[in-house]
Structure 1
Amino acid sequence: MRIMIVGAGSLGLLFGAKLFTVCDHITVVTKTREQAEALRMQGISLDGDKVISTNSNEHNIRFQSYDESVKEDKHPDFLFVMVKQPAIRDEFISYLKDSMSAGTIVVCFQNGIGHEEKLISAVGSDKLLLAVTTEAARKEGLTKVDHTGHGITYLGSLTRKGGPPQASQILLQDLLKTAGIEAEVSNEMEVRIWSKLIMNAVINPLTAILRVRNGELLESPWAMSLMRELYDEAMLVAGAKGIELPDNLWKTLLHVCKATAQNHSSMLQDLMQAKGTEIDSMNGSLLRIAKELKLELAVHQTVYCVVKALE
């Protein structure tokens, strides 16, 4: 089995370290040559242990940067897209298409909504799987990652909502399980995607604005009040779109916040590192849909503006 992981952030490094032991060959594509060179020299450290060491004959993993040639690896079985949504532009999509062979399946791990339509148009719905993961990881450096929370990865197609799982879905599910990553094929990917979108749109901007860890939101009645208002507004949009979400999603959101209590959200990490955030693909997406539906999301509009100002 040949895997190509495009994006060497926290999840990219985590999945690369886990899958290394069960794949014939893995290519990890980084944003910068600096990180690619560091990984070539040092390997990957997971939870403080050197999982991939450059001192042994581990030739089944290759590190390269986004601007390096991929001619040798144009036949991955699965191509994991693990960059943040704003990176999925026309140039990036061309890069993906150049990296694929006729049998390659693209697996998209992005938060938010909107990117899947671009990728379906580019590679075709039969070549695209969507993934929603609750695995939590924190990147500690160019080559180090901590697995901060175990979760589950749901796999499925947005266009195929019934019938038995496809062979590629079962194959990938089994591969992830063998690597120690809990995985499940789902026929309800729209529900999975919207559920995670709403949880991210509630937790991420508030932790970013307040500069707190996820669990600290639960310690303040004022923060909890804002969380509930953001949640109710998001559910209003989902309902207007005809998307039926679980009745216990609010409880699930609080559980996720508690389970990742010590984590800095990705949006907070981006601001701390003076990077752009995913606010446009999270709260921004909800605001765009709400505008089309002639709905007002006053709290989402406020937190959106504050995060954009902080950017």
Structure 2
Amino acid sequence: MKVAVMGAGAVGCYYGGMLARAGHTVMLIGRPAHVEAVRRDGLLLDTQSFSMHVPAQASTKANGLEGARLVLCCVKSNDTESAARDMARHLDPDASVLSLQNGVDNAERLQALLGRQVVPAVVYVATEMAGPGHVRHHGRGELVIGPAAASEELVRLFVEAGIPTEISDNVAGELWAKLILNCAYNALSAITQLPYARLVQSDGVEDVMRDVVKECLAVAQRLGVRVAGDTWEAVQRIARTMPKQYSSTAQDLARGKRSEIDHLNGYVLRQGEALGIATPVNRVLHTLVRALETKSLEPQSTPVNTLSEE
């Protein structure tokens, strides 16, 4: 099967690389330096259990989507609309589109612009781009996807490629569970530039995280969302299982890039305002990160750890 990855960063390259290793034809659509490296050497898939170059095609253009039966959309939430416009002209009529993005509404936003079903996926993986054409995997890798006509086929495809995948009849609750983890960790890791284990050891941080979780749950409940799992236990587990992890928001600030904070704490803030629910802690975290984004445009002399939280 031909699989195309729209936005071949750390997440897209990991899942694309695993599918390429399983024998599928994979097209990675990404930035020029990355594309050049993949065209020259293939994709270096560097995991906890193996390291190998896998054959992959690569392009900087969305026309690389043509002929793909499966498209993984892995762009940042800020780029969803522009990616959808680029994708629309090149999608095959029978292609399945899967959103592997942070936030809870990307599949809906893609679907509205593409005029076709987009399957939402919740992604739990620790991975980084260690260099052009080199993706390094640090742990986990499971997917939870929403129900659709193609979902069972997608589960078989991913599982055969070594990617644990399940279908959830409460994918909105799964997406919100992941959103709450991001709201609890991303901004605080970005503001402090601390990895998760050190972050939670700081005085008062867990209290702030509890307040974030309470606000998020209040908004989700008013929206009629049944959040999956034990939320606070899941928050605590992240620091134990990913102790050296820096949030993707921390990485974005350190690299002088705009973060996805508008689609994390900012999303909860906007929903709370619309519903008349106060979310003061999410407001403060969102405001501080947005303020720091201006500063992050300046060159940074000391890079942070480049682990990607997705």
Q: TM-score, normalised by structure 1?
A: 0.88
In the TM superposition, residue 140 of structure 1 has moved relative to its aligned partner by: 1.2
User: 101, 114, 129: which is aligned to 2:92?
Assistant: 101
Distance 2:220 2:229 in 1: 13
CA deviation after TM superposition for structure 1 residue 218, in Å? 2.3
- Contact 2:177–2:229 under 8 Å retained in 1: no
Q: After superposing the two structures, state which structure 1 stretch, 116-125 or 289-298, moved more.
A: 116-125
> How many Å separate the matches in 1 of 2:63 and 2:37?
18
CA distance in 1, matches of 2:83, 2:114: 12
SS of the residue 1:181 aligns to: coil
Q: Would the aligned equivalents of 1:156 and 1:169 in 2 still touch at CA under 8 Å? A: yes
1:254-287 Cα distance to aligned partner (Å, 9 max, x none):
1123211111111111111111000000011111
Write the distance in 1 (CA, Å) between the matches of 2:119 and 2:229.
26
Tell me, yes or no, if the aligned pair for 1:93 and 1:119 is still in contact at 8 Å: yes
Give the secondary-structure state (helix, strand or coil) at the position aligned to 2:127: strand
Any idea what SS the aligned residue of 1:4 has?
strand
| Number of the residue aligned with 1:22 | 22
Shift of residue 69, structure 1, vs aligned partner: 4.2
For residues 271 and 119 of structure 1, the distance between their equivalents in structure 2, rounded to whole angstroms, comes to 26
State the match for 1:139 in structure 2: 129
**Residues 142-291 of structure 1 aligned to structure 2 (within 5 Å):** 142-157=132-147, 166=149, 168-246=150-228, 248-291=230-273
Distance 2:141 2:239 in 1: 13
Corresponding position of 1:162: none
TM-score scaled by length of structure 2: 0.89
Measured against aligned partners, the alpha-carbon deviations of 1:80-118 in whole angstroms (never above 9, x if no partner) come to: 0011110112x4212111221110011001111332222
> Separation in 2 of the partners of 1:151 and 1:9?
15
Give the total of aligned pairs: 291
CA distance in 2, matches of 1:291, 1:132: 26
Q: Give the whole-Å Cα distance in 2 for the aligned partners of 1:144 and 1:114.
A: 30
CA contact (8 A) 2:46 2:52 kept: no
Provide the residue aligned with 1:92 in structure 2.
83
Specify the alignment match of 2:58 in structure 1.
Answer: 63
**Percent identity over the alignment?**
26
Aligned CA-pair RMSD: 1.8
**Is the aligned partner of 1:76 residue 2:68?**
yes
Runs of 4+ in 1 over 4 A off after TM superposition: none
Does structure 1 retain, via aligned residues, the 8 Å contact 2:77–2:101? Answer: yes
Does structure 1 retain, via aligned residues, the 8 Å contact 2:215–2:279?
yes
Deviation at 1:171, TM superposition (A): 1.1
1:160 counterpart residue number:
none
1:247 Cα deviation (Å)? 5.8
The answer to whether 1:123 aligns with 2:114 is: yes
SS at match of 2:21: coil
Report the Cα distance in structure 1 between the residues aligned to 2:2 and 2:37, rounded to whole angstroms.
Answer: 22
